[in-house]
């Protein structure tokens, strides 16, 4: 059994952050989104993993993620030279996959369920494809499945105007090698892409077995700012373990589940968890409210923060009004003069500098 993780694309919904980096490397609770998928796949017992990368961000993904040693995996990087669809990604990965069954995981997705149970069902059923589904209130925004009473998939359609059900395709699929023939038989969609939904529908049309399972835990697609903040909140809520490795002075107050990384220093700060603060950070005269993630090497002085994600190397100084629902990019710098407004909201790309006067 092998796995492929899709980590290409342009990430247009997370711009400006993704003008300078891969969306799959944006951190949730200070860990790149991509790494959650790798860890989930390895936990299910699959360690031979191909990561699909793009020309624009591939080197960054390779440099940050490495060869897989840290995950107990063997990672192969596969270049997809253009964003021509999920099925096209499978096509370019075929030399890596060979005749092996495989799991395909979209690198900007997070799920609560473990994959091991689904993998066992797929192997024991000896079917051609197993897809994950989740009821959603807005199925027109997703690939949608219609299933029968036995859980067999009858019909799939991509982003339908009139959805046949409210069951959206989660970005995790299990495939037998027969999917390659199905991909060879389909044509690009009106948007010019080889759609994985069309390939799965082709399996169905050729009387091959496609089944579905509904996931019960949370599923998060982190493609937009609000989705990223929701993912950060849920992961902090469900996964964060308290740990204080840095230095916290006597004037600071910490309550709830809070994780503080090595060599970080907090001076006269109030932190109310769940909050994660990375390594080598300097926080002084700050309030850090619930559901905030502060990445490594961040400086916060006289800052008031809640429900926000601050990326590596950012600097926020003198903003005493509360920053909420914000994503601040790597190495961004924010400074503010007196006579400030009452509330501030930001989505700021890497290397930005903003001064409010």
pLDDT tens sequence across 147-197: 888 778 888 888 888 888 999 999 899 999 999 999 999 999 888 899 999
pLDDT at 37: 93
pLDDT at 13: 47
Q: Is residue 279 pLDDT above 90, yes or no?
A: yes
pTM of the full predicted structure?
0.87
pLDDT at 39: 95
Q: Is residue 19 pLDDT above 90, yes or no?
A: no
Percent of the chain having pLDDT more than 70? Answer: 90
Q: Which residue has the higher pLDDT, 6 or 22?
A: 6
Say which range, 68-72, 160-164, 290-294, has the weakest mean pLDDT. Answer: 160-164
Q: Which residues contact 2 (CB under 8 A, 6 or more apart)?
A: 46, 48, 49, 50, 96, 97, 100, 101, 102, 103
Closest CA to 133 of 144, 124, 123, 122: 144
Average pLDDT score, the chain:
89
344-347: long-range pairs with CB below 8 Å, 24+: 344/319, 347/16, 347/17, 347/225
Tokens of 32: 């790149």
Average pLDDT over residues 195-209: 93
3-state secondary structure of 33: helix
Q: Is residue 12 pLDDT above 50, yes or no?
A: no
Q: How does residue 6 score in pLDDT terms, banded at 50, 70 and 90?
A: very high
Asked if 261 contacts 246 with a C-beta cutoff of 8 angstroms, the reply is yes
pLDDT at 269: 97
Average pLDDT over residues 203-210: 93
The C-alpha atoms of residue 314 and residue 64 are separated, in whole angstroms, by 18
Q: Which residue has the higher pLDDT, 150 or 294?
A: 294
Domains of the chain (ranges, CATH numbers): 2-235 (3.90.550.10), 242-356 (2.160.10.10)
Q: How does residue 30 score in pLDDT terms, banded at 50, 70 and 90?
A: very high
pLDDT at 49: 98
The C-alpha atoms of residue 95 and residue 86 are separated, in whole angstroms, by 16
Q: Which residue has the higher pLDDT, 327 or 353?
A: 327
Say which range, 25-34, 100-109, 148-157, has the weakest mean pLDDT. Answer: 148-157
pLDDT at 15: 47
pLDDT at 341: 57
Percent of the chain having pLDDT more than 90? Answer: 62
The C-alpha atoms of residue 110 and residue 117 are separated, in whole angstroms, by 17
Instruction: For 226-258, write each residue's pLDDT tens digit.
Output: 888 988 999 999 889 999 999 999 999 999 999
Instruction: For 124-143, write each residue's pLDDT tens digit.
Output: 999 999 999 999 888 888 88
pLDDT at 225: 77
The C-alpha atoms of residue 310 and residue 299 are separated, in whole angstroms, by 10
3-state secondary structure of 13: helix
Q: How does residue 101 score in pLDDT terms, banded at 50, 70 and 90?
A: very high
The dihedral of CA 351, 278, 57, 349: what is its sign? negative
Render 249-318 in DSSP notation, one character per residue.
-TT-EEESSEEE-TT-EEES-EEESSEEE-SS-EEES-EE-SSEEE-TT-EEES-EEES-EE-TT-EEES
Average pLDDT over residues 343-350: 69
Q: How does residue 99 score in pLDDT terms, banded at 50, 70 and 90?
A: very high
Identify the H or E element spanning 123: helix 116-125
Pairing of strands 353-356, 333-336: parallel
Q: How does residue 281 score in pLDDT terms, banded at 50, 70 and 90?
A: very high
pLDDT at 113: 83
The C-alpha atoms of residue 231 and residue 238 are separated, in whole angstroms, by 11
């Amino acid at each position: 059994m092998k796995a492929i993780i899709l980590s290409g694309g342009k990430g247009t919904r997370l711009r400006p952050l993704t003008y300078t980096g891969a969306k799959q490397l944006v951190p949730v609770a200070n860990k790149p989104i991509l790494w959650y998928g790798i860890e989930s796949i390895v936990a299910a017992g699959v360690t031979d993993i191909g990561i699909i990368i793009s020309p624009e961000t591939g080197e960054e993904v390779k440099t940050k993620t490495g060869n897989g040693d840290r995950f107990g995996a063997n990672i192969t990087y596969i270049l997809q030279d253009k964003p021509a669809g999920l099925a096209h990604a499978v096509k370019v990965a075929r030399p890596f996959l060979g005749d092996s069954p495989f799991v395909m995981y979209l690198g900007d997705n997070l799920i609560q369920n473990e994959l091991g149970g689904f993998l066992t069902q797929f192997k024991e059923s000896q079917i051609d494809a197993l897809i994950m589904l989740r009821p959603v209130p807005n199925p027109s925004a997703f690939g949608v499945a219609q299933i029968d009473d036995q859980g067999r998939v009858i019909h799939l359609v991509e982003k339908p105007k009139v959805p046949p059900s409210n069951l959206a395709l989660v970005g995790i699929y299990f495939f037998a090698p027969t999917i390659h023939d199905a991909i060879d038989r389909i044509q690009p969609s009106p948007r010019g892409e080889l759609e994985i939904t069309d390939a799965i529908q082709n399996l169905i049309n050729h009387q091959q077995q496609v089944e579905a399972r509904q996931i019960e835990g949370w599923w998060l697609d982190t493609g937009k700012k609000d989705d990223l903040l929701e993912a950060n909140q849920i992961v902090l809520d469900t996964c964060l373990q308290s740990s204080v490795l840095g230095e916290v002075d006597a004037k600071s107050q910490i309550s709830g589940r809070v994780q503080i990384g090595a060599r970080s220093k907090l001076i006269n700060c109030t932190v109310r968890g769940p909050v994660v603060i990375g390594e080598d950070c300097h926080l002084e005269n700050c309030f850090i409210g619930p559901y905030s993630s502060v990445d490594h090497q961040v400086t916060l002085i006289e800052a008031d923060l809640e429900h926000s994600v601050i990326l590596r190397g950012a600097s926020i100084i003198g903003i005493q009004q509360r920053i909420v629902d914000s994503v601040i990019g790597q190495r961004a710098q924010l400074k503010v003069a007196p006579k400030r407004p009452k509330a501030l909201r930001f989505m700021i790309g890497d290397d930005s500098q903003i001064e409010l006067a």
